[in-house]
Amino acid sequence: MRHALVIAGKDLKLRLRDRSVLIVAFVAPLALAVILGLAFGGTGPGFRATFAVADLDGSEMSRTFVEQVLGSPQLSGSVTVREVSGAEQAERLAASGDVSAAFVVPPGFEGSVRGGGEATLRVLRSSSSRVGADVAEAVARGFADRLNATRLSVITAVAGGVGEDPAALAAAAAAEEPPVRLVDAGTSSQQAGGPEYFGPAMAIFFLFFTVGFTARSLLAERESGTLSRIGAAPLRGWSVLAGKTLPAFVIGLTSMFVMLTAMRVMFGASWGDPLTLAVLTVVTVFGIFGVTAVVQTLARNQQQADSYAGIVGIVLALLGGNFFPIDQLPGAVRQIALVTPNGRALRAFGDLAALGGGLSTIWTHLVIVAGFGAIGMLIGAVRMRRVVEA
C-alpha cells in the first residue's frame, strides 16, 4: 500500500507540474460551462408574444375579453397586450409583424351575442408568427365557445323536441356549470440548458482527457526505460497499477468537485441530497475511467493513447448529450445516449436535480455506470499487467 502511495504521489506531482492538466481539468470545463449557463440561462424554449386588440364594441362583454381573458394572470407572464383604437391599426401591426396577432371585437358584438344572433370575433394572424398566432386563435375560440355554450344547450334541447319556452330554457342553461374543469397541477421543471445540466456535462466530457493518463504514464515509463527499473524493485504488480491509477482518480474527482461547487456558487445549481451526489460523482469518475482504461491499452505509445482517448471521448460526448440536452432531442437519440456511460451519468445528474430524491431515484443509472467502470477496469488491468510485467 505504501509503495502504491509513493508512486501515486510522484505521478501526481509530475502531472501538476505540466500546466496543461490544469487547463483540461479545471479552466476549460469551467469556462465552457459558464458560457453555456449564460447562453441558456433564460426561462426555457421561449414563447413570448404581443397581441394587439381593437375593442370597437366597448361593451361589458368586450371588456371582459380584453381585461379578464387576454389580461388573465396565466397569460400576463408571457403575453403583452396592446390596445389600439382602430381595426386598420390592428391589422397594420399584425401585417408588419410587430405583434403576433391582432383581435378585432366589432361594434355591436355584445348586442348580437345576447340577442342570439351572429357575432364574429376577428383574429388577424401575423404571417411572421407561428406559436403566437396559434395561441391567439385558441384564446379567441375558447372565449367564443364559452359564449356559445348557453346557446348550444338551448338549440340542442329545442332540436330534440323540448317544448319549453326558449327564454326560460336559456335562463336554465346559463345556470349550468361546464362538465369539464381544467385544473393546474403545477410542478417545477429542470432547466435542461441550465447549470445543473451543463456543469456535469462539461466536467464529464473533460474527464475523458484527465483520467486517461494512467495507461499513458505507464507507456511513458516504458518508453523512458524507468518501467523496467520499477519492475526490478521488490514491488507487486498491483501496487504499481494502484499507484498509477490513484492520481487519475484524485484529479478527476477534484475536477468534478470544483465544477459542481462552482455551478452551485455561481448559478445556485442544486442536485439535492449531498451524499447521493457524492456517490454519483465517484461512480461517474470510475465509469469514465474504465472506458478510457480499455481504450488506452490499445495504444502502443503515449501519443496514440492520447488521441484514442480523445476520439472515444468526443464521440461518446456527442452521442451522450454532453453538448446538447439529450432530453430535448428526438426519442431515438435519447435512447442511444442512455447506452453511453457519460450519457447515463448525465441523466443521473439531471434526474437528481429535476426529480429530487436520493439513491432510490438514480440507482439504475449508478449500477450501469459502475458496470462500465468495473468491466473497463478489469480488462484494462489485465492488459496493463502485461505492460508492467513484460
Please tell me the total number of residues recorded for the chain in this structure.
390
Using CB under 8 A, count the residues that bind another protein: 123
Do 312 and 291 contact (CB within 8 A), yes or no? Answer: yes
* Residues in contact with 162: Cβ distance below 8 Å, sequence separation at least 6, in sequence order: 169
118 binds another protein (CB under 8 A): yes
Q: Which of residues 259-298 bind another protein (CB under 8 A)?
A: none
How many whole angstroms separate alpha carbon 98 and alpha carbon 90?
A: 10
Interface segment toward another protein; rule CB under 8 A; list 166-174, 221-229, 261-269, 288-296: 166-174
Q: Which of residues 328-347 bind another protein (CB under 8 A)?
A: 328-330, 333-334
Interface segment toward another protein; rule CB under 8 A; list 164-172, 263-271, 273-281, 378-386: 164-172
Specify burial of residue 202 (Cβ count, 10 A radius: 0-12, 13-18, 19+). buried
**Nearest 10 degrees: Cα torsion 135, 140, 146, 147:** 180
167 binds another protein (CB under 8 A): no
Q: Which of residues 137-156 bind another protein (CB under 8 A)?
A: 137-142, 144-149, 151-153, 155-156
122 binds another protein (CB under 8 A): yes
Interface segment toward another protein; rule CB under 8 A; list 253-261, 290-298, 349-357, 376-384: 349-357
Q: Considering only residues 125, 264, 383, 385, which one is a binding residue for another protein as defined by CB under 8 A?
A: 125
C-beta of 142: minimal distance to another protein in Å? Answer: 4
Interface segment toward another protein; rule CB under 8 A; list 3-11, 22-30, 223-231, 266-274: 22-30
C-beta of 153: minimal distance to another protein in Å? Answer: 4
168 binds another protein (CB under 8 A): no
Q: Which of 62, 106, 384, 99 is nearest to 248 (CA)?
A: 384
How many whole angstroms separate alpha carbon 101 and alpha carbon 85?
A: 15
| All cell numbers assigned to 93 | 401591426
Question: Of 113 and 370, which has the nearer Cβ to another protein?
Answer: 113
274-297 vs 213-224: helix crossing angle, rounded to 10: 40
Interface segment toward another protein; rule CB under 8 A; list 3-11, 234-242, 258-266, 299-307: 299-307
**Nearest 10 degrees: Cα torsion 334, 337, 342, 346:** 0
Interface segment toward another protein; rule CB under 8 A; list 80-88, 135-143, 221-229, 368-376: 135-143
Phi first, then psi, for residue 49 (nearest 5°) are -145, 155
18 binds another protein (CB under 8 A): yes
Backbone torsion region of residue 321, taken as left when φ is above 0, otherwise alpha when ψ lies between -120 and 50, otherwise beta: left
Do 284 and 322 contact (CB within 8 A), yes or no? Answer: no
Q: Residue 99 gets which letter from DSSP? A: S
Q: Considering only residues 350, 373, 376, 380, which one is a binding residue for another protein as defined by CB under 8 A?
A: 350
301 binds another protein (CB under 8 A): no
Question: Coil, strand, or helix at residue 135?
Answer: helix
Do 57 and 106 contact (CB within 8 A), yes or no? Answer: yes
Do 338 and 316 contact (CB within 8 A), yes or no? Answer: no
Binding marks (x or -) toward another protein, 73..92, rule CB under 8 A? Answer: -xx-xxx-----------x-
Question: Of 175 and 265, which has the nearer Cβ to another protein?
Answer: 175
Q: What does 6-18 look like in DSSP terms, one character per residue?
A: HHHHHHHHHHHHS
Question: Of 160 and 225, which has the nearer Cβ to another protein?
Answer: 160
Binding marks (x or -) toward another protein, 305..324, rule CB under 8 A? Answer: -xxx-xx--xx--xx---xx
Q: Which of residues 202-261 bind another protein (CB under 8 A)?
A: 206, 209
67 binds another protein (CB under 8 A): no
Q: Considering only residues 4, 32, 201, 362, which one is a binding residue for another protein as defined by CB under 8 A?
A: 32
C-beta of 6: minimal distance to another protein in Å? Answer: 25
Question: Of 85 and 128, which has the nearer Cβ to another protein?
Answer: 128
* DSSP H or E stretch at residue 82: strand 79-84
Q: What does 234-256 look like in DSSP terms, one character per residue?
A: S--HHHHHHHHHHHHHHHHHHHH
